[in-house]
Each structure stands twice: as structure tokens, then as C-alpha cells.
Amino acid sequence: MPTHHPTEEATPEGQLIFDENLAEQFEARYRTRDIVRRRELVYQALDTQPGEAILDVGCGPGFFLAELLGQVGATGSLVGVDSSPQMLAAAARRCASSRNITLHKADATSLPLARAEVDRALSVQVLEYVPDVVAALAELYRVVRPGGRVLIWDIDWSTLSWHSDDPARMAQVLQAWDEHLVHPCLPRTLAAALRSGGFADVHTVGHTFVTTRLDPDSFAATVCEFITHFVAGRCGLTEADVAAWMAEQRQLDERGEFFFACIQFCFTARRP
């Protein structure tokens, strides 16, 4: 989820637009406690080794690239791919002093890499936005070397458990929020898709992000911010409805009654 701050404009599919505003929001949100925790979980599962070549599909503002640099060392290399020029510009600023990081503007379904070019590839909260997941997995299979590892992290948004004194309005808000991406429940089918795509040793781990406070460092606060900018005008919601929903969440927090939980899924697989 964004790994993303929506604008008033929407894509033809109604998704978020990854523009300059979004890039600025990412700069702030990638430093929050829960997103830092997520990166640490990704690094543990990716198990990068010195000297390896790593690909980040949907690299965003380049936090993974900059931090993985320390793991691959001077003999390793990193490639970041993103379809957003604004995200790539942020990544270029973050990685400006690193000679072994290369950035490309491209889609997940058309990676500008040769066959078997990288040792490992990661894609964190990206495939849920990609219409053709099968094609994206085929590209990952193509560019990863035999024996290499792939890591995909996405959210099943139906796992949200979110308290409200107005359940009907909450359901309406979450229904509208589902329009921000193509596959709200992608993890349900992703393991099978990886196996069908030729990958072996497919493993799935679910990580719960839960908070009982509307803490600015929490994943809940990130989702609240994105929702308030996205859902007005969808599923019959007015700006006043969204403002009232957000005001209620703040009131619940003040009364010690706030509750938010969701499950984010980490998939790892090996190319035989």
C-alpha cells in the first residue's frame, strides 16, 4: 500500500496516481515505525548476500535500494524499476552517490533486463496494482537466475479489522478504498500463481500490523491519510462523509477505543 498519496485525478481504472505529491508522501511515510519494520521483515526474507545483483520492481523513492546497498557491498549491484518518473527522481536523489545502482522507467510486465541477469528480485506492495499479474511473474522468472530468490509482498485488504461506531459508513469507506488498486485480495491467489509460473519452494508468511492508537508512526495512520484523499466521490461518499469518518477515528483514539489491524503477506519463491 502503499507502499501512496492520491491526487484528485484518477487513472482510467480509478487507481492512485504515483505523482509528485505521492513521492513527497512516500519520503515521509517510509521513515515511520511500521514501514521501517516492514523493510526489516523484507530483508530477513530476501536473505541478500554480498556481491549479488538485486532487482527492486516498483522501487518507489529508493529506500530499499539505498539500504540493500550495504548488504550487497561494493561488488554487488542493484537495479530499480518504476513506472513513475517522480518516484524515480526521488530514488535518483537518494542513490546519487552510489555507482552500482541503476534506475529504469518501465512497467512490471516489461522489465528492461536480460534473461537471468539478477540473483534476487523483490516487489513490495506493487503487484496488487498490476492488471496482468501472470505477465509480471513471468518477467520475474525471466530475469532471475536459476536458483535465485523472488520476494513479493502484498496486502489482502479484506483482512482489515477496523473499529467504528458507524459500521455502515465504515463499510462504505472501505468499499470505496478498494477502488484504489486492481487486486484488493491478491495474496489469496498469489502462491498458486507463483507455482503456475514455474517457481519452486513457494512460502507464505502473514505479518499482522495492529494498533490501538492512531499513532502517526503506525500503518493505520498511513492508511487513514490515503483514504481521506481518495474515497470522496466514490461509492456515494461526499467530502463531508469522509471528514466525519476521520473525525470519528480521532475521537475513538482520544477515548482509548481506536483499533486497527490488517495482515500483510510475504511470499518467497525460487526459480529452479
Statement: residue 15 has pLDDT above 70: no
pTM of the predicted structure, to 2 decimals? 0.91
Supply the pLDDT for residue 20.
Answer: 61
- Tell me the percentage of the chain whose pLDDT exceeds 90: 87
Condensed to tens digits (0 to 9), the pLDDT of residues 26-53 reads 677 888 999 999 999 999 999 999 999 9
CA atoms in the 13 A half-sphere facing the CB of 199:
31
CA-to-CA distance for 15 and 2, rounded, in angstroms? 12
Supply the pLDDT for residue 177.
Answer: 97
Question: For the chain, what is the mean pLDDT?
Answer: 92
b/e sequence 107-136, b meaning 16+ C-beta within 10 Å: bbbebebeeebbbbbbbbbbbbbbeebeeb
Supply the pLDDT for residue 27.
Answer: 72
Condensed to tens digits (0 to 9), the pLDDT of residues 156-203 reads 999 999 999 999 999 999 999 999 999 999 999 999 999 999 999 999
Q: Which class is domain 20-156+182-208+264-270?
A: alpha beta
b/e sequence 142-165, b meaning 16+ C-beta within 10 Å: ebbeeebbbbbbbbbbebbebebe
pLDDT confidence band for 11 (50 / 70 / 90): very low
Supply the pLDDT for residue 3.
Answer: 39
Condensed to tens digits (0 to 9), the pLDDT of residues 136-151 reads 999 999 999 999 999 9
Domain extents in the chain? 20-156+182-208+264-270
